[in-house]
Structure 1
């Protein structure tokens, strides 16, 4: 065989001088665009998640965005009161009084937030939060105070003669090493009027007594919607209260309400994704100028001026935001308004049986005939029997025990309520009842009731002369 010839020196030199070009692998445009879209969607999902977290915390925890609207004077008063306690060690007591939803909790949270950011305060303030709905007696309240002050190990199995001795021991345990100074403590009593009903008002008496003495810097802040709260206090408790009262009222007009809507929906300047925050805030501005959105908010404003209702509406709307729907629209707020104003009792009616619907219609007619007077089961059963006889339908002909069982189910659902607590041997058929639904609620519920028989609808819509 002929041996392979070697390349000439010239050809070898040329091959060394001119390196072979490697083919460049180019990514298809579609693949590059898909990767960009995927990255942007991931960033968008992260931004939407952070946005919803911030707004949920704001709406659920009553943390107002920016300055409080219409509460500037009350804010300064409460802030100065708490500063005197934390900085100078003064003891105080005060009541925040206002209707539900007027911003009592929001004002207090705002003041505490600003107080914690002050250099002279730092972590010098201990807080104890009690609620009259949860701490139903002094024993439960004292246990909660011990837990929040983290003194369970200090108390141990010690036995105290009275509530005052127990509370005094807790405060003594908080004193510093030289036993001459103590950390200031803030007691916040939400639903303050419910603590008034505790036996002898012992908790209130001891807290106000300590706040009046110079032993431990203690401030007691009560939140209540009762305007006559001072009249409910015992004489000895009232004498130890400072009589400081801070009143709150929803005094803003609709123009200010729209500004609050925009502020509550806006993202803060320190939001990580500046581009998304700018788009979101610009969209909030456009929404506040939209006629449809203004109509939705005006309806809510006329029904209730409390910011809690606005927060509930915005919570429902923000929940509709997704990666594919990153910004709120007027339609989202309309749908949130529809859900927010939906009737919970009417929704219960949607899940009832036809027999239970018939009993409710019978009660509706009894209310119309007897002008809202109470009725009993026997009257409802007789009315139902009249309907069966007119229509001659065997499909509605249930035995009386079955009808009674359906009536008791309506009682459990609290659509019907007895006028008084029944005696042990009372006949159930003759207990006086009242219907907790009005005619409009019943008719609206029947319009959307699935597969409701036509004759039942006609019976519900019939006039008094047809009875």
Structure 2
């Protein structure tokens, strides 16, 4: 049974981390456009360029990956794929080096290595132009975070790729993926003139029911898992557990809350990582409690978590800041105002705090600044640099609800602090 469980975990992990990605039904309709574009390049030697535009997590990468995987099995020629990412290839020199590496052109013409930008560019363009549209191997360039490539100096890489695609000297398809709706406006005029202006807009049209169904589909094992009788027996019990889990009211509430925050597949995958990784011989099936534990981690507020690690003194200062924010309708405050609020409280409830002198309280105030729970007011930054720290206008970066949740979960929080937070004035 141990091996059967490991096999099940392997299948589920491959789904979670994209090795067995399935295209969502709501974006399958866009596949045909991509198929036609890439097929024409491979079969007829056409060159082209396309932008796939959609919000983060809407399925752009999944759509392209599933389409290419499907085509690779049917195409008569091998399609060379070059993948670039705007976060990794931060300038044209790095991008060209990566293209050269992926095309296996690092060391050609003997032992010569192209070191400079101009040499690499010239060599790469000649290598791509070498051959005709019928004899050359088709190349697909995938540029993720396409908008970041428009920030490169002179947009040299984009210009040359689009120029090659427009010239049609070698079968070349350039597909850019971006979440920027204004990406065309980010291109220089000469780059824009060489772009085909083909754009594919992806939007997530999932409903809450689709999201619940995706949860089940992500966990259900199919018939291909059945290698032995033990596998078949486990599959039946596992799938029955998944159906029961999907119909559980608490799980559905969690999924609906997750859907209201983010409709995208990555958020659902993130929710399932912990339950799947926790499976073992003594815990072979996912329970509603596992989903609830994972949801608590996924939904946890980073700022609230930081508050659990501050001292009682620092927590007092934050509550004082919250009072000042409410009293002055969101206006800024300074250290002296906070210190005065703090003194009013300690004079009434001194027994719950040690007596702290002003320099110690100022140090605690500065520590909250370092934790980025408070910050100087932006409109007064130039003036604030000329002021002493105690007088710099400051704003609180916490919502009242965040603070309340953190205070009530704070280990050993004095009841007086909770009462102070609830009161409208000190």
TM-score scaled by length of structure 1: 0.82
What is the CA RMSD across the aligned residues, in angstroms?
2.6
Whether the 8 Å contact between 2:133 and 2:170 is mirrored in structure 1 is: no
Q: Is the Cα–Cα contact under 8 Å of residues 93 and 117 in structure 2 kept in the other structure?
A: no
Q: Which residue of 2 aligns with 1:141?
A: 95
Whether contact under 8 Å (1:287, 1:329) holds in the other structure is yes
Indicate conservation of the 8 Å contact 2:159/2:194, yes or no: yes
Matching of residue 445 in structure 1 with residue 406 in structure 2: yes
Distance 2:134 2:66 in 1: 32
Listed as ranges, the matches of 1:340-379 within 5 Å are 340-379=298-337
SS in 2 for 1:152: coil
Q: Quick check: 2:131–2:169 contact (8 Å CA) kept in 1?
A: no
Residue by residue over 1:115-142, the C-alpha shift from the partner in whole angstroms, topping out at 9 and shown as x without a partner, is: 2222524xx2222222222222222222
Contact 2:308 2:410 in 1 (8 A): yes
Say if 2:159 is the partner of 1:198.
no
The question of 1:276 aligning with 2:237 is answered: no
Describe the superposition over 1:23-48 as per-residue Cα deviations: whole angstroms up to 9, x where unpaired.
xxxxxxxxxxxxxxxxxxxxx22222
Alignment correspondent of 2:44: 88
Residue 332 of structure 1 aligns to a residue whose secondary structure is: helix
Match of 1:110 among 66, 72, 81: 66
Please give the alpha-carbon distance, in whole angstroms, between the structure 1 residues aligned to 2:125 and 2:3.
Answer: 46
More off after superposition, 390-399 vs 375-384: 390-399
Matches within 5 A, 1:420-435: 420=378, 426-435=387-396
Aligned equivalents of 1:78 and 1:426: distance in 2? 59
Q: CA deviation at 1:180?
A: 8.4
Q: Equivalent residue for 2:368?
A: 410
Of the three residues 253, 271, 287, the one matched with 1:313 is 271
**Partner of residue 126, structure 1:** 80
Distance 1:356 1:113 in 2: 55
Displacement of 1:176 in angstroms is: 7.6
Counterpart for residue 13 of structure 2: 56
Q: Using structure 2 for the length normalisation, give the TM-score.
A: 0.89
* Residues 1:222 and 2:176 are matched in the alignment: yes
Distance 2:292 2:217 in 1: 19
> In structure 2, what is the equivalent of residue 38 of structure 1?
none
Q: What SS does the aligned partner of 2:25 have? A: coil
1:270–1:400 CA distance, 2 compared to 1 (3 A) = same
Query: 2: CA distance between counterparts of 1:62 and 1:432?
Result: 51
Q: Which string of whole-angstrom CA distances, capped at 9 and with x for unpartnered residues, describes residues 379-408 of structure 1?
A: 322322222233345944323333233223
Unaligned 5+ runs, structure 2: none
The whole-number CA distance in structure 1 between the counterparts of 2:212 and 2:352 is 58
> Aligned partners of 2:45 and 2:194: how far apart in 1?
18
- Taking the aligned partners of 1:161 and 1:106, their CA distance within structure 2 comes to 33
Contact 1:171 1:216 in 2 (8 A): no
**Cα separation, partners in 2 of 1:87 and 1:278, compared to 1, 3 Å:** farther
Contact kept in structure 2, 1:62 and 1:106, CA below 8 Å: no
Q: Distance in 2 between matches of 1:150 and 1:424?
A: 54
- Check whether the contact 1:376–1:431 (CA below 8 A) recurs between aligned residues: yes
Q: Give the whole-Å Cα distance in 1 for the aligned partners of 2:256 and 2:61.
A: 24
Give the 5 Å matches for 1:155-194: 156-158=112-114, 160=116, 162=118, 166-173=120-127, 181-194=135-148
- Aligned 8 A contact 1:174 1:183 in 2: no
Mind listing any 5+ residue stretches in structure 1 that lack a counterpart? 1-43
CA separation of 1:405/1:112 partners in 2, compared to 1, >3 Å: closer, same or farther? farther
Pair member with larger Rg = 1
Query: Are residues 203 and 176 of structure 1, via their aligned partners in 2, closer, same or farther at CA, if it must alter by over 3 Å?
Result: closer
Distance 1:356 1:306 in 2: 38
Structure 2 counterpart of 1:288, from 246, 251, 255: 246
Residue by residue, what CA displacement relative to the aligned partner does 1:4-32 show, whole Å, maximum 9, x if unpaired? xxxxxxxxxxxxxxxxxxxxxxxxxxxxx
Query: How many Å apart are 1:329 and its aligned residue?
Result: 2.2
